[in-house]
Chains A and B, each alone.
Chain A
Amino acid sequence: MNWTAIGMFLLFVLFTLGVTRWAARRTRSASDFYTAGGGLTGMQNGLAIAGDMISAASFLGISAMMFLNGYDGLLYALGVLAGWPIILFLIAERLRNLGKYTFADVVSYRLAQTPVRLTSAFGTLTVALMYLVAQMVGAGKLIELLFGISYLYAVMLVGVLMVFYVTYGGMLATTWVQIIKAVMLLLGTTFMAFMVLKHFGFSTEAMFASATAVHAKGTAIMAPGGLLSNPVDAISLGLGMMFGTAGLPHILMRFFTVSDAKEARKSVFYATGFIGYFYLLLIIVGFGAIVMVGTEPAYRDASGAIIGGGNMIAVHLAQAVGGNLFLGFISAVAFATILAVVAGLALSGASAVSHDLYACVIRKGQATEQEEMRVSRLATLGIGVLAIILGLMFESQNIAFLSGLVLAIAASVNFPVLFLSMFWKGLTTRGAVMGSMSGLVSAIVLLVLSPAVWVNVMHHEQALFPYSNPALFSMSLAFFSAWLFSVTDATERAKQERGRYLAQFIRSMTGIGAAGAAKH
């Protein structure tokens, strides 16, 4: 049992419960619940977006990858970062001007509500649940290691706190938990990077020199290794990371929490800055750890492996630079990170159920706000229970491929249709539904046939699909199907849908008629 870490974590939980209580008092309408009343500033939302991206997976995973392979870790970081300017230039403002609570609002803006909302909700739930399971399993393992509590309790604890934040505090609590954690993680990582640089006399050259001197791969860690050696794989992974981020429902939802397009724009600027800064720090953390953790026998077990596995590199480094107190702090931050990210995921899944499925499809827009909020709370509870059960079921499964490839699925099922609905006059309901579905099916089928599942999980001789990432193919297919089934759609409904594009275009450009912030 690590009592410092547990103490610090309890402090964090108490504080966030206070935040949730405060948020619960201010959460009265559906707009408060889904989008924090639309009243966040660009800076606050930027921090929350950055918080969603700098998750435990990127903090522990990317620093571990740099520790093992050096430069290849940076390739992942750059893929995630490069998506943000594109999101800003292409979709952030239009999304804010056209939507209200979920990205399905935007896709269904001039299309038939029922079929489009059904497919969008299906896409949202698939992505949110897969991401949630990956986070749950990762969280359970991590908490087991850091705090010495059993996997069962760890998963239950994450699930219960997540449901509590979302059902009581809605988006306001979810966002503030994310902001608090983002600030803590940025400060903690800054301190670690500063101490590493101090150790090397503030010379990155000295740090790289020592790292290459002690690393088994020598100077090879300063150049790209085997990660992206195949050009098709490289492009596919790049596309998946860049546009997958733009298809994550819990990220897209954040654009509705600010008052207008101008604040949405600012939030991406701040988010890109924070994410970029964080990844620059991770280079120092990862390479510093090669020397400060890798050469220290205390962090290895009898067989020479890193205690707790490769993902614990950043945690060991925290102890090396700041002692047990700082180790406790970083452990608590890692736990907090998981909580904040799963809360956002649960909220986006719940809003797909309550807003898209219940209010718009089942009740055809006739549900009162109170009814809609009640359904969203029940949906959150349902998603929480499902996440705990799936987390326990998948405990011993290899979930690494799951978390990485959720992005490929998001890039294929959500992004193409969202993009076309905003930029292409010709998109019709039939095209949107077929585009989403073909993206989802092809991404999952290609994933199953890829080496990660077909060979590593199902133990077949050879993969039927040779590339590790399907995004290039499944995304292209989604775009192609959406186009094909739209241009061949000669129905009267399709004609009307194309006719409504101009009004949508004007609103997306100017914000005339856009949903504003709630009045309090």
Chain B
Amino acid sequence: MTPEHIESICKHPDFQQLVRRKRLLNGTLTLAMMIIYYGFVLLVAFSPSTLGRSLSGGVTSVGMLVGVAIVLVSFALTGIYVYRANNVLDPLSDRVKQECMQ
């Protein structure tokens, strides 16, 4: 990449939008995952009895449901990311590549 290339890419509105959108998407999802997982870890450390409570009168505990939910939510978050990246971020990046690298 020549310095001219670098400059033309940095000034390209699609590149600026790509950077902004990518940061927003990655930041939000990372934060969500961190809050979910470390929230769970802190709950385990400080109040294990909350997780041990019965879910609906039976033996199955709240913690079991939370554990299964974390697995499903983790998968769902990666799904959201892949969907947004394929449909919103990739077209932006393709346009930048086409217009700046001729």
**Minimum CB distance partner of B38 in chain A:** A238
Interface majority SS on B: helix, strand, loop or mixed?
helix
Are the CB atoms of B52 and A223 closer together than 8 Å? yes
**Minimum CB distance partner of A233 in chain B:** B45
Are the CB atoms of B1 and A510 closer together than 8 Å? no
> Of the candidates A74, A223, A265, which one forms a contact with B48 in the assembled complex, judged by CB atoms under 8 Å apart?
A223
**Minimum CB distance partner of B61 in chain A:** A222
Are the CB atoms of A269 and B78 closer together than 8 Å? yes
Residues of B contacting A47 in the complex (Cβ-Cβ under 8 angstroms):
none
Shortest A98–chain B CB gap in Å is: 13
> Of the candidates B45, B77, B82, B100, which one forms a contact with A229 in the assembled complex, judged by CB atoms under 8 Å apart?
B45
Are the CB atoms of B45 and A85 closer together than 8 Å? no
Residues of A contacting B85 in the complex (Cβ-Cβ under 8 angstroms):
93, 262, 265
Interfacial residues of chain A within 51-109, with CB under 8 A of chain B in the complex = 71, 74-75, 78, 81-82, 84-86, 88-90, 93
**Minimum CB distance partner of B18 in chain A:** A509
Shortest B86–chain A CB gap in Å is: 7
Interfacial residues of chain B within 28-70, with CB under 8 A of chain A in the complex = 29-30, 33-34, 36-38, 40-42, 44-46, 48-49, 51-52, 58-61, 63-64, 67-68, 70
B1-30: CB near A (< 8 Å → 1, else 0) gives 100001001100001001100100010011
Are the CB atoms of A78 and B45 closer together than 8 Å? no
Known A90-B26, A222-B52; contact A82-B37, beta-carbon cutoff 8 A = yes
Are the CB atoms of B48 and A89 closer together than 8 Å? no
Are the CB atoms of B93 and A507 closer together than 8 Å? no
Are the CB atoms of B82 and A269 closer together than 8 Å? yes
Are the CB atoms of B33 and A86 closer together than 8 Å? yes
Are the CB atoms of B30 and A75 closer together than 8 Å? no
Are the CB atoms of B60 and A90 closer together than 8 Å? no
Known A266-B82, A269-B78, A279-B71; contact A510-B59, beta-carbon cutoff 8 A = no
> Of the candidates B15, B42, B78, B100, which one forms a contact with A234 in the assembled complex, judged by CB atoms under 8 Å apart?
B42
Are the CB atoms of A231 and B42 closer together than 8 Å? yes
Are the CB atoms of B78 and A88 closer together than 8 Å? yes
> Which range holds the interface residue count of chain B?
35 or more
Known A266-B82, A283-B67, A512-B101; contact A209-B58, beta-carbon cutoff 8 A = yes
How many angstroms between the C-alpha atoms of A398 and B40 in the bound complex?
31
> Which of A212, A268, A506 is the most central at the interface, judged by chain B CB atoms within 10 Å of its CB?
A506
How many angstroms between the C-alpha atoms of A75 and B48 in the bound complex?
12
> Of the candidates A82, A225, A235, which one forms a contact with B70 in the assembled complex, judged by CB atoms under 8 Å apart?
A82
In the complex, whether A228 has a CB less than 8 A from a CB of chain B is: yes
A111-135: CB near B (< 8 Å → 1, else 0) gives 0000000000000000000000000
> Of the candidates B9, B38, B42, B51, which one forms a contact with A506 in the assembled complex, judged by CB atoms under 8 Å apart?
B9
When A and B form their complex, which 10 residue pairs have the shortest distance between CB atoms, in order from nearest? A223-B52, A222-B61, A234-B45, A231-B45, A224-B48, A82-B37, A276-B71, A208-B59, A209-B59, A224-B44
- Seen from chain B, the residues whose Cβ lies within 8 Å of a Cβ on chain A are 1, 6, 9-10, 15, 18-19, 22, 26, 29-30, 33-34, 36-38, 40-42, 44-46, 48-49, 51-52, 58-61, 63-64, 67-68, 70-72, 74-75, 77-79, 81-82, 85-86, 90, 93, 96-97, 100-101
Task: List 30 A–B pairs whose Cβ atoms lie within 8 Å, in order of A's numbering.
Answer: A78-B37, A78-B67, A78-B71, A82-B74, A85-B33, A86-B34, A88-B78, A88-B81, A89-B81, A205-B60, A208-B58, A208-B60, A222-B52, A222-B63, A222-B64, A225-B48, A231-B42, A234-B42, A265-B86, A266-B82, A268-B78, A269-B82, A272-B78, A273-B75, A279-B71, A280-B68, A506-B1, A506-B9, A511-B97, A512-B101
